Structures are given as C-alpha cells and as structure tokens.
Amino acid sequence: MLQPKPKLRRASGIRQAFQLQEFAFDAAMALKRACTDEQSHNVSMDVKTAVAVQKLIGAWDTASDRLRIYRNKGLPKVQEHKPKHSKAKTEPEPVTPLEAKPEPCPYRHRAKPCYQLNLNAPHELPPTKTL
C-alpha cells in the first residue's frame, strides 16, 4: 500500500523555490559566459543551448510565481475604467475677482507669473497667541 507523501512545510517550500530560482539564474548566466566571445563580447549559441536557456527562463519564472504565491501576493489586476465624476453635474461655485490687479513682474523669463510685494500697501497681521 502506498504511503501519502508528507506535505512540505511552508518555510521549506519557500526555501526550495528560492534555491531553484537562484539555480536557474546562475545556470543561465554560466551559459551566457560560455557562449560569449571574449574579444567581441558577442553571444552566439547553437539551437540546443538556446533551448536550454529557454527552459531555464521558464524554470526561473515558475519559481518566481511560487514565491509570489507563498508571499500571498496576487497577480496584477487590470483596472476597469471608472468615471471620475457622477453623471449628475453640479454647478461650480462662482469665482470672485480679485480687488486689486497685481503689478506686472519684471522677471518675464519665468514660466509662472510672479507678483511683486508692495510694502507700502496697508496690511493686517494675524493675531498672535499669548501664553
């Protein structure tokens, strides 16, 4: 009679997935170094090596998915288009014009308009707090 295999604990599953991902990366980089010409730094490989690299990339991707699942992260979701405002439009509040026009700025090279500070104009200071 067959005995059921014991389930792997979560920590060992994460460790194994990480080790497999690391092994796939290291093996792919070793293949890259083996197929790189030292003088021209061009990578050239035969069909069998290219298939091996493809399988290593697939193994790395599978291990990456396992790690994502173990970390309890879902797949990225496609966000549906949601209207920013409701269909019923409200009237905007009326804008009150400023009482005094600002003086023109001598610095015309700035992208945003700036206003000169008129020190002769009467102004009020905010009340100060006493302790």
pLDDT at residue number 1: 61
Model pLDDT for residues 37-59, shown as the tens digit of each residue: 888 888 888 899 999 999 999 99
CA dihedral 28, 30, 36, 37 (to 10 degrees): -170
Per-domain residue ranges of the chain: 10-70
pTM (2 d.p.): 0.49
Over the chain (131 residues), the average pLDDT of each successive run of 10 is 65 87 93 88 88 93 90 75 64 70 59 54 63 61
Cβ atoms 60, 21 nearer than 8 A: yes
Whose tokens are 């990480």? That residue is 18
